[in-house]
Amino acid sequence: MSDHRCVKKELDTLTTALYAAVLGFTSEARWLRHTRFHLRHLFPYLPQQPGCNKRLRKAAGLLRHVTRLLATDTSVWSDDVWDDDVWMVDSTPMECGRFRETVSVPVKGTRNRCRPDGGEPAGRAVEEGETVIESILPSRVVVEEAFSDPPEVTLFPAEEELVRNSVAVRRREFGTVRHCARRALGTLGVAPAPILKGERGAPLWPEGVVGSMTHCTGYRAAAVAHRTEVLTVGMDAEPHALLPDGVLETVALVTEQQRTHELRAADAGICWDRLLFSAKESVYKAWFPLTRRWLGFEEADIVLRPDGTFVAELLVSEEKLEMRPDAVPTGASGSAAVPRELRGRWLVADGLLATAIVIENGAP
């Protein structure tokens, strides 16, 4: 085979992998059949399914490099909460095992925490009547969650415009998480309003409100609080499954990788690598509303603890820690800074893992 054909096969494989995610295909076999029937004129060099898998695995290094470039120029850290239309590609070959039947999250489960090995769980237990993430947040934060996309969900016209060109699955998760947010805002006594996107896609909350949203397969949640009581909320939910190969090395410091391997050796029933990834997501979501500054994966050193807590040390300059003026705590004089050490909580429940960080107004 000529070098030209080899290069074309590689390019067709990578390009169609991206198309599959953008168009919402979750089955590799179905996508390849669709491509050969409808798009063969665009991708004449596309190999058979085993060849696609082989080429994507070999391209893992390239895809990780592209991931880093995207992370520099976009808010992909916070894709689920900021609702950016960014899809990541990795050696699985798509994000979160998109083309592999490795993640199974129940549509509705019990409030029992679960582990893949059936052993004794770690972290905080979910009490009867609590939502999944509510159990790791203080009482001042109101949480609403959904395990499916209810048909009665409606969007404001301005919100509809944000997802006008998005695929159906994207529109559903976008709508449901905002449905959860409006229910939570109602509990605070805040009237329904559009939740649009600001800088780097960050959600624009009503005046006097702080909040966070998250969604993953089979789960959507929103948490809100009055700004007079809480400065910021960062939360994240993920399927309780191992990260795809190569992702941990991309997002974690060497020391974090070592600690993750040690935790895995001591307790293989918890997916510590994805838990670390989720904690980094929560750190960024708590950080950005206070500073409006980028925070790289390498700028947060996270220590996970088996007792359901974690600590994140921010590895940035004192100047970068300074809060923007409108985020300064009530009653504070002059400037204020984000604490260098952030403390959070985590749990595993209903086939999910969740992490959360809250900085309360007046907290030291």
- The pLDDT tens digits of the residues spanning 160-201 come to 999 998 888 889 999 999 999 999 999 999 999 999 999 888
Q: Give the tokens for residue 358.
A: 């809250």
Burial 90-117 (b: 16+ CB within 10 A, else e): bbbbbbbbbbeeebebeeebeeebbbee
Q: Where are the alpha helices (DSSP H) in the chain?
A: 3-22, 28-38, 49-58, 60-73, 79-82, 157-162, 168-187, 247-251, 254-266, 272-291, 318-321
Q: Which ranges in the chain are annotated with CATH 3.90.470.20?
A: 133-360
* Integer Cα distance of 147 and 163 in angstroms: 21
What is the enclosing helix (H) or strand (E) of 301?
Answer: strand 300-305
Q: What is the predicted pLDDT for the residue at 69?
A: 59
pLDDT in tens, the chain (364 residues): 445 455 556 666 767 776 676 566 666 677 777 776 667 666 776 666 566 667 666 776 666 666 565 554 554 444 444 544 444 443 333 333 333 332 333 323 333 333 444 444 445 555 555 677 888 999 999 999 999 999 889 999 999 999 998 888 889 999 999 999 999 999 999 999 999 999 888 899 999 999 999 999 899 999 999 999 999 999 999 999 999 888 899 899 999 999 999 999 999 999 999 999 999 999 999 999 999 999 999 999 999 999 999 999 999 999 999 999 888 876 665 678 999 999 999 999 889 999 999 999 876 5
Bridge partners of 305, per DSSP, are: 309
Q: What is the predicted pLDDT for the residue at 8?
A: 56
CB 212 within 8 A of CB 81: yes
Q: What is the predicted pLDDT for the residue at 331?
A: 63
If DSSP codes are grouped into helix, strand and coil, which group holds residue 215? Answer: strand
What is the widest separation between alpha-carbon atoms in the chain?
A: 72
Q: What is the predicted pLDDT for the residue at 48?
A: 64
Q: Give the tokens for residue 210.
A: 């702080």
CATH class of domain segment(s) 133-360: alpha beta
| pTM tops 0.95, yes or no | no
Q: What is the predicted pLDDT for the residue at 126?
A: 52
DSSP letter, residue 337: B
